[in-house]
A and B are shown apart, each in its own frame.
Chain A
Amino acid sequence: MSTEIMKRAAELLKSGEVSLVLGWRVGDFDYDLTPSKFRTAEDLEKNCIYNDFSAANLSKYLIKTLRKEEGKVLVFLKSCDTYSFNQLLKEHKFDRERVYIIGVPCDEKVDFDKVKTILGEDIIKMKSDGTTVTVTTTEGEEKTIAKSEVILQKCVNCKSRKHVVYDELFGDEGEVLNSHRFDEVAKIEAMKPEERYEFWRGELSRCIRCNACRDVCPACTCEHCVFDNEESGVEQKVASNDFEENQFHIIRAFHVAGRCTDCGECSRVCPEHIPLHLLNRKIISDIDEFYGDYQAGDDVDSIAPLTMFNQVDVEPSIVKSRGDN
């Protein structure tokens, strides 16, 4: 599939219809792909790949790229990435006319780190055929593992296979899935307050405040983040006490509330494996409950529940009472 996709993108590049392509550049181990710009058909066909390791969501790169570059940009988007794209469009981050989207089919991505944890660190080659991941070790030994055992956290309970926006689609039109993504939230909600507090304090205690979650987040697009402002007193970098670090994540979750599409990039990039997506998912589930089902990025026209007032809106006292238990 990758070859056909790249061939088509190369055509568009050659014809001048698009001036550059945003894709994933091959690395040293098959799995270590880097988001990258491709300006020539030759570079694209040789070094760009779409496979089970193309996990990075490329939509946020469009902001920077479209500011710097001339012409139309082609971008490959997976179904979940298209929600981020729409949300960015809704926030007027770029011009739709300047983007050509090739929707690429996705049936969950592989967590290469998980593969290494299970099969060993001495892996020099890693391939996935969609059902099985096969690795080759430095000693030349081959090992396999079922793909279903090494799915990226963000793809477990995938919410949608539907590309909500595209110019051209590879594969079949997908559907919104009956996802069980809120089950993980329910598990935490069921905890006693002290238990829940301990859970989050424990998870967040590993934070090294690298800000990768923020920097990768397609909803974090402030020109100047409050955490980059040394006058704010809550500047990035490690805080004076560990509670401040916890606060950082909570503030961030609230700031992207109603705009977070649940793409899960925050959890994917966290070097400390903190399940950050659960904070956002909790807020999404509350919004659904209080204001009716809403999926950020589903479209570009609707008014988001947190940015409008409606007479049937839930009373603040109800919201507050939720915090009491």
Chain B
Amino acid sequence: MLTLKENQLDAFFALIEKKRELYLPVEQNTGKSEFKRWAEGDKYSTALRTTRSAKNFFFAKSENLYDIEMNDKKVEVIDTRKDCNDFVIFGVRACDVRSFDVLDNVFLADPVDSYYKNRRDHGLVISMACSKPAATCFCALFDIDATSPNGDIQAWHVDDTYYFDPITEKGDAFVEEFKECFTEADDAPVRKQKEETLNKIEKLPFVKLNLDGFATEEKLTELFDRPEWKDLSEACLGCGTCTYVCPTCQCFDVKDYKVSEGKTKRYRVWDSCMYSNFTKMAAANPRLTQTERFRQRFMHKLVYYPIKNEGMYGCVGCGRCLVSCPVSMNIVKVIKTMGDN
């Protein structure tokens, strides 16, 4: 397997950054890690999870769609897609890599979202296997293997060595381009780490929850009508924290911003089904109370999405909502209450 010593990592990053934009998790002054553009002196953070997910790279928090400029009576529409450069995301965990598949099913299905596709085409994903899962991790529940994290190139970190395994054409080409950085070495340490990690994952509290009955059309109405939604949603503040830290939440709104006289920006922003004015129509938000909004979020992830996508759930078990929800209400509590657990 291709390897790189830990002390060579910064030189590797510097080389990538010369040719592409490089993003990786870096520890912030809060002690938490977030993806950021690499700059000389930044240290790759091996933290298990970034506060925000990696979805921002393909489905940005705020994305300029086009600019409109009016000169006299001529209106010019300026496409912004060309502004996207080739980029590499390093250190993406298996849950976040799966979230790209979840997003692909939405944005790359006909009609293709050309903005999303544009970013997808420009991006290369180097994933990173987990070795210290958190008690709040449950990716295994959705058949995600945290020790084989996929992406264009999968990577492992064992002791002072990084191991790389390209698994797509894009990954092969990248490895070829940077081949002087790597040396071949036996992958026995990786196999050993995988085994140990899988043993740890086995013991996590939520990896064996029962999902029977969620992703079936027959049970849809029954689940929808369950009275427990009311109690579960009671404490919900209606904030958007869960949807914004979630790697698979994909709702957005399109808005205009008047930059100056004759200049307008059309942009899209993350939206949240938790908000009172989400999908507002002539009358109102069709989901009048927080109970209905709350139900929508979980029905979408656990019922509607898998029914439409051959059983793939709209949750990847990253556990971010378990950590960030101000009232500690989350998808695990929903699965436990609504499922046969």
Contact = CB atoms under 8 A, between A and B. Distances in A.
Contacts of A299: none
A186 B245 CA distance: 33
A116 B322 CA distance: 13
Contacts of A228: 275-277
Interface stretch (B16-24, B82-90, B158-166, B263-271): B263-271
A124 interface: yes
A45 interface: no
B218 to A, nearest CB: 29
Residue with the greatest number of chain B CB neighbours at <10 A, chosen from A28, A61, A239: A28
A237 B269 contact: yes
A238 B239 contact: no
Nearest to A113: B323
Interface string A232-250: 0001111111000000000
B241 A34 contact: no
Contacts of B237: 212, 215-216, 269
A72 interface: no
Contact of A208 (B61, B200, B275): B61
Nearest to B237: A215
A272 interface: yes
B78 to A, nearest CB: 16
B326 A216 contact: yes
Contacts of A269: 237, 239, 241, 326
Interface of chain A, helix or strand or loop or mixed? loop
A212 B270 contact: no
A117 B47 CA distance: 10
Interface in B288-341: 322-324, 326-329, 332-333, 336
Interface in A109-148: 113, 116-117, 120-124, 137-139
A67 to B, nearest CB: 12
Say whether chain B's binding surface is mostly helix, strand, loop, or mixed. loop
Interface string A264-277: 00001101110000
B189 interface: no
A259 interface: no
A121 B136 contact: yes
Chain B interface bracket (under 10, 10 to 19, 20 to 34, 35 or more): 35 or more
Contacts of A32: 322, 328
Contacts of B148: none
B31 A138 contact: no
A238 B269 contact: yes
A138 B239 contact: no
A208 B132 contact: no
Contacts of A209: 240, 244
B51 interface: yes
A212 B236 CA distance: 10
Contacts of A216: 237, 239, 326
B87 to A, nearest CB: 20
Given A208-B244, A236-B275, A268-B326, A273 B32 contact: yes
B298 to A, nearest CB: 15
- Scoring B238, B241, B267 by chain A CB atoms within 10 A of each residue's CB, the highest score goes to B241
B52 A208 contact: yes
Nearest to B200: A138
Interface string A219-238: 00000000010100001111
B135 A212 contact: no
Contacts of A123: 135
Closest 7 CB pairs of A and B: A121-B134, A269-B326, A240-B257, A32-B328, A212-B239, A215-B237, A271-B324
Interface of A: 27-29, 32-37, 56, 61, 113, 116-117, 120-124, 137-139, 202, 206, 208-212, 214-216, 228, 230, 235-241, 268-269, 271-273
13 contacts: A28-B205, A35-B327, A121-B132, A209-B240, A209-B244, A210-B240, A212-B240, A235-B277, A237-B270, A239-B62, A240-B255, A269-B237, A271-B324
